[in-house]
Amino acid sequence: MQSSFTKRKKLGYCSGIVTESLLYNMFYTYYLVFLTDVIKMDPILAGTVSFISIIWDAVTDPIIGSFADRNGADKRKYMAKAAFPLGFMFIAAFVNIGSQSSVIQFIYYTAVTMLFWLAYTVYTIPYYAVVAEITQDYDERTSIRSTSSLINTAAIFLGNALPAVLPSLFAGLVFSGKKMGDSFGWTLTAIIMSVMSVLFACITVKSLKGVTLQKAETASTENDRKSIKVIFSEFFEVLKIKPFKWFAMFIVFFLMASSMIQSSFEYMIKHLVNKDPETWMTVVIIELVVVMAAFIPLVTKIAETKDRRFSSILFMSLMCAGLIICRIIGVRSIAVVLAVTFCMAMGMANFWTVFYSMAYDLVEVDEFAYGTRRESVITALPQFFQKFGAAVGVWTVSLILKLTGYNAELAAQSAKTVNGIENNVTLIPAAFLVLSVIGAVMYPITREKFALLSKELQKKRNGEEYSAEGLEKII
């Protein structure tokens, strides 16, 4: 690691995950609930709002990534400029506009969430990509992501627990003799989350001050200016890298599974076990983050002893088996709800610890194959598939709710709806996890292969004779 990236700066950088994770988790866990139960939107329309905005976010990833990869581009500046719009648009997404028109509601919430996710992309793509500029060491990348993942457990807790209790608390406040409603509680909660998010973005940008970033210090040329056509041409060029299709499969299906469970937490507690979401969501989220925090060091140890591929196969398989067992038992008690949460936490601990480090490895594959380093584009591509999978997962939940007759006005849902919610947190995610495991099994970059790649790549950089022997499945 470069000497300019001290332990203190590393900690400051890693804390930047709080900026995106607070808002990411509140959105994925509660936005569907906010639209269906507070705004009273039709479930399929509510799911489509999220689907369109997240897909839009996925499409902008490679564009932002390409701009952030240009010579002279300083990733810190992208992060700084995105922070305040990110917070502002998140607040706007949780405002009740007061219209009963489904058309006006759909247009407004789709527009503001698209702008929110655009700002999110401008922050997160440079944030994650910058690690590939800071270090090219296999284990150091894992270490950075491990530290970041541990900090992320606190952000996951706050992003899920605070919205579980604050909206109803704020809704009971009285101003000028008038009691505030549910929608006011959600808006005020979004304001608090956004302020925290912007604060950590500022800390992160400051922590990277003085850190040597190669792209930022390389002079820009006319050749660095790329059209949208060229940007997407690069996008498809990187997609041709042999390991990428398996990596994408691993990402998409895991996010489809995890986003289905995450966006169903409140429905599961309220309608499967008939418990108060305010109380039990907090319990579920505490369990989620405690289990993640416990498993992250284990994941890191296995990834460093074996490799990231092995840890992914192991923990994704365990998560899948656990969800199937929960469905056989039946999600009809808090104990089984907590078992579902445990399975998800175990899978998330692995995914968020190794996901970006696996993407960084592809930067070296790309350089070996094409002679150029495209850190942001290669960071953006996995995020594209991550968001695509998450969008499909959330939309699938809304589709099942619609098809099974979910009605937010009913205290007790029909047996058909209850069965649909149960499948949303067990069988359907388990099926997606099987496909995710297959992607991990087929992913060819092991620790040994990466070491060989790094050795031959260094020879190529030095103008020495190099060989691709043993790298046929990678290059």
The Cα–Cα gap between 107 and 102 comes to: 9
DSSP secondary structure letter of residue 223: G
For the segment 325-384, what is each residue's pLDDT rounded down to a tens digit? Answer: 999 999 999 999 999 999 999 999 999 889 878 888 888 888 898 887 777 778 778 888
The Cα–Cα gap between 292 and 294 comes to: 5
The Cα–Cα gap between 400 and 46 comes to: 13
Nearest to 125 by CA among 82, 71, 72: 82
The Cα–Cα gap between 354 and 182 comes to: 39
- Which residues, other chains included, contact 367 with Cβ-Cβ below 8 Å and sequence gap of 6+? 373, 457
CA distances to 38, 50, 166, 275, 391 from 183, in Å:
7, 18, 11, 22, 24
3-state class (DSSP) for residue 333: coil
Does residue 316 contact residue 433 with C-beta atoms inside 8 Å? yes
Q: Which amino acid is at 137?
A: D
CA dihedral 230, 54, 260, 427 (to 10 degrees): -40
Pick the CATH number of 7-206+227-443 from 1.20.1250.20, 1.10.3720.10, 3.40.50.800, 3.40.50.300: 1.20.1250.20
CA distances to 160, 217, 247, 448, 459 from 462, in Å:
49, 21, 29, 22, 5
pLDDT of 453:
92
How many DSSP H helices and E strands does the chain contain?
A: 18, 2
Nearest to 416 by CA among 426, 425, 406, 424: 406
Tell me whether residue 260 is exposed, middle or buried, using C-beta atoms within 10 angstroms of its C-beta: 0 to 12, 13 to 18, 19 or more: buried
The Cα–Cα gap between 313 and 331 comes to: 26
pLDDT of 363:
85
**What is the token pair recorded at 263?**
């966006």
- Exposure string of 365-389, with b = 16+ CB inside 10 Å and e = fewer, is bbbbbeeebbbbbbbbbbbbbbbbb
The Cα–Cα gap between 39 and 89 comes to: 18
- Exposure string of 23-58, with b = 16+ CB inside 10 Å and e = fewer, is bbbbbbbbbbbbbbbbbebbbbbbbbbbbbbbbbbb
Q: 2: how many CB neighbours lie within 10 A of its CB?
A: 12
pLDDT of 1:
40
CA distances to 21, 123, 133, 187, 195 from 200, in Å:
11, 12, 21, 20, 9
Q: 104: how many CB neighbours lie within 10 A of its CB?
A: 12
Q: Which amino acid is at 218?
A: T
Task: Classify the phi-psi angles of 177: left when phi > 0, otherwise alpha if psi is within -120 to 50, otherwise beta.
Answer: left
Enclosing H/E stretch for 401 = helix 375-403
- Please, what are the averages of pLDDT over each run of 10 residues along the chain (475 residues)? 69 92 93 92 93 88 78 84 96 92 95 96 88 76 84 91 89 60 88 96 90 64 62 77 91 96 93 89 91 93 90 97 97 96 95 86 87 77 86 94 91 92 97 97 91 91 90 86
Tell me whether residue 468 is exposed, middle or buried, using C-beta atoms within 10 angstroms of its C-beta: 0 to 12, 13 to 18, 19 or more: middle
Name the pTM for this structure. Answer: 0.78
Tell me whether residue 223 is exposed, middle or buried, using C-beta atoms within 10 angstroms of its C-beta: 0 to 12, 13 to 18, 19 or more: exposed
- Which residues, other chains included, contact 151 with Cβ-Cβ below 8 Å and sequence gap of 6+? 14, 15, 17, 18
pLDDT of 3:
47
**What is the token pair recorded at 22?**
């607070």
Enclosing H/E stretch for 51 = helix 43-68
Half-sphere exposure of 194 (CA within 13 A, CB side): 22
pLDDT of 169:
85
pLDDT of 361:
85
